Amino acid sequence: MPRSDLNRQILVVDDEAALREGIARVLTTQGLAVTTATGATQALAQLARQPFAVVLLDIKLPDMDGMQLLKHIRQDFPDTEVIMITGYPTIAGAVECIRLGALDYLVKPFRIEELEAVVQKARDHLAQKNRPVAPEPEAAGGLGLDFILGQSPAMRRVFDKIKRAAPSDSTVLLTGESGTGKELGARAIHLLSPRAGQEFVPVDCSALVETLLESELFGHVKGSFTGALQTKHGLFELANHGTFFFDEISNLSLNIQAKLLRVIQEREFMQVGSQKRIKLDIRIIASSNRDLKEAIKAGAFREDLYYRLSVIPIHLPPLRERTGDIALLVDHFLRQYNQKGHREITGISSQALKLFIDYGWPGNVRELEHTIERIVILEDGAVIQPEHLPSFISQRQGEFHDFSDENYSLEELEKRYIQFILRRTKGRRQEAARILRINRKTLSHKIEKYRLRTNW
């Protein structure tokens, strides 16, 4: 089977028919080939019959525990990515899934956009593992930075800092807006470092539940809290000898910040409920899209932790400050999504490219990528023209327009504008909240109040 076809093969293993069929319907509309199985025996037979890129696996199965099946898949089908599904989430279970080799997990009930995002993450991860060793000619000199594209002076300065920082064990703080590539920068530092052969463990601090965070990071001993039925290893131990990446570290509570500071200073930690100190050999990289100095002034971030993290600060510039890279990025994403979607869009017209360059890109490179993906899927023609662009880029009449001649209430205007921004950010609430200059909790309240759509 050609590799491009293999990347589309998805296996869904769940004994609930409604859930199986629902997942299959969603993923089929994404152009993926979905096979289903009601239990472990049927799943293993399907896996033996053909290769799959991704397996969505329920933890509770009638004929075998999902964790046992995960072990089988990791051992016998190492090139297959596994995403666990559970209706009874526990931090111990989550850590165990990751320890056994699952890429991620979904908690029932989950939203369509969560399903699509985690499957795309798995497919991207698989594609990255299968990439040829030789970098693309536009990449940063083939120096381990081949997945970060850019030729602008601003990006060349970033590449230089990454190459200088990588050989050391110093902590690095990556700053920049959402979508600028901070995690890619962290991975590049890891791959160029002496720890490249060890684990790279990223943790999205904005997605972690505060009450369970300590156990997830440090692990716990049996009986340390209700539900701790056995001793579990934390993510720090998983990353030992490798690199630990705290994505959006400003979301950590002051309590966890204090404990992280001790880990950085002493290179040791204790599991929850234990008095035994465990030595740790890791390199720590952190990122933030928030100005941490402002967070310090607001009392939300520890100043001593900030100085420990920012030994080597690296700022990722927003796309609007590196517009010279837009043509390069468009070409890269066109080739990527042409291959995925079996399309043959050869390029972009000068008029459309100018509109891209003039647009502010609040979502940065991530927004540009998703825009190209949408154009490749939805539009016809060999060359991207202005009429193929979303209205908010081409300045054509969009969902949000001049209401001066209409008698809308202030509440209705707010509702329409928030919906416009959610559509523009493709439902990404953190980015939408930043553009609207409100916090995410307030945005979630308004989405619920106005019953707004959040999936695109």
Task: State the span(s) of the chain assigned CATH 1.10.8.60.
Answer: 320-394
Task: State the span(s) of the chain assigned CATH 3.40.50.300.
Answer: 153-317
Which is more confident, 150 or 227?
Answer: 150
| pLDDT reported for residue 86 | 82
Cβ–Cβ under 8 Å, residues 34 and 58: no
- The residue whose two tokens read 């019959």 is 49
CATH architecture of 320-394: Orthogonal Bundle (1.10)
Residue (of 49, 48, 53) closest to 12 by Cα position: 53
Mean pLDDT calculated for residue range 356-378 = 89
Q: Dihedral through CA 279, CA 301, CA 444, CA 174, nearest 10?
A: -70
Q: Which two tokens stand for residue 75?
A: 């051992």
pLDDT surpassing 90 at residue 180: yes
Residue (of 95, 76, 234, 75) closest to 84 by Cα position: 95
| pLDDT reported for residue 209 | 63
| pLDDT reported for residue 146 | 61
Cβ–Cβ under 8 Å, residues 302 and 259: no
Band (pLDDT 50/70/90 cuts) for residue 94 is low
Q: DSSP alpha helices (H): ranges in 385-428?
A: 391-394, 410-424
Band (pLDDT 50/70/90 cuts) for residue 430 is confident
Rg (CA), the chain: 23
Which is more confident, 409 or 62?
Answer: 62
| pLDDT reported for residue 97 | 74
DSSP string covering 116-142: HHHHHHHHHHHHHHTS-SSPPTTBSTT
Q: Which two tokens stand for residue 361?
A: 């890109």
Measured CA distances, 215 to 95, 225, 234 (Å): 9, 10, 7
d(CA 14, CA 297): 49
Phi first, then psi, for residue 436 (nearest 5°) are -75, -15
d(CA 388, CA 61): 46
Residue range 266-315, pLDDT digits in tens? 888 777 666 777 888 899 999 999 999 999 999 999 999 999 999 999 99
Using alpha carbons only, give the angle 309, 311, 316 rounded to the nearest 5 degrees.
80
pTM: 0.57
Angle between helices 440-450 and 429-436 (to 10 degrees): 100
Residues in the chain: 456
| pLDDT reported for residue 5 | 63
Cβ–Cβ under 8 Å, residues 170 and 312: yes
Domain 153-317: CATH superfamily is P-loop containing nucleotide triphosphate hydrolases (3.40.50.300)
CA 315 to the chain's CA centroid: 19
Cβ–Cβ under 8 Å, residues 56 and 105: no
pLDDT surpassing 70 at residue 67: yes
Pick the CATH number of 3-129 from 3.40.720.10, 3.40.50.2300, 3.40.47.10, 3.40.50.2000: 3.40.50.2300
| pLDDT reported for residue 137 | 36
Q: What percent of the chain has pLDDT over 90?
A: 32
d(CA 351, CA 384): 9
326-337 b/e with 16+ CB inside 10 Å = b?
A: bbbbbbbbbebb
Task: State the span(s) of the chain assigned CATH 3.40.50.2300.
Answer: 3-129
